[in-house]
Amino acid sequence: MADYFQLSEEEINEKLPSDKQAVFRNRVSWANTYLYKAALIETVKRGVFRITDKGKVIVEDPTITKIDRKFLTQFDSFNQFINNRELEEPVSRYTKALLHWGSGANFVIK
């Protein structure tokens, strides 16, 4: 993902205010969780995910340019995960890219 977005080492290693985790890793992890909870990706094994048929439909739809929490509320499984909490700003620009990047192949989140 870092290569896909051509991120610098500084951007990759930038820490959250808590200084416990890198922002990039945190955002990718949340994007992965949200996509999984919406059933757009599935777990192959620990740390390895595959895009689902439902996810492929989303990636191939040129009218979908942004996947955020509001978009994901169309999926019941995501709503169950969120438990009707207030919608917030998107996790990041990485959400659709993660889906696109993983389309047609397995990918690993490290």
Q: What is the pLDDT of residue 56?
A: 94
* Contact (Cβ atoms closer than 8 angstroms) between residue 59 and residue 99: yes
Phi-psi group of 57: left, alpha or beta (phi > 0 → left; psi -120 to 50 → alpha; rest → beta):
alpha
Amino acid at 85: R
* Contact (Cβ atoms closer than 8 angstroms) between residue 98 and residue 32: yes
Phi-psi group of 85: left, alpha or beta (phi > 0 → left; psi -120 to 50 → alpha; rest → beta):
beta
Local confidence pLDDT in tens for the 110 residues of the chain: 888 888 899 988 999 888 888 988 888 888 899 999 999 999 999 888 899 999 999 999 999 988 988 899 999 999 988 875 555 545 555 666 666 555 554 544 44
Q: What is the pLDDT of residue 108?
A: 47
Q: What is the pLDDT of residue 71?
A: 93
Phi-psi group of 30: left, alpha or beta (phi > 0 → left; psi -120 to 50 → alpha; rest → beta):
alpha
Q: What is the pLDDT of residue 18?
A: 86
Q: What is the pLDDT of residue 53?
A: 96
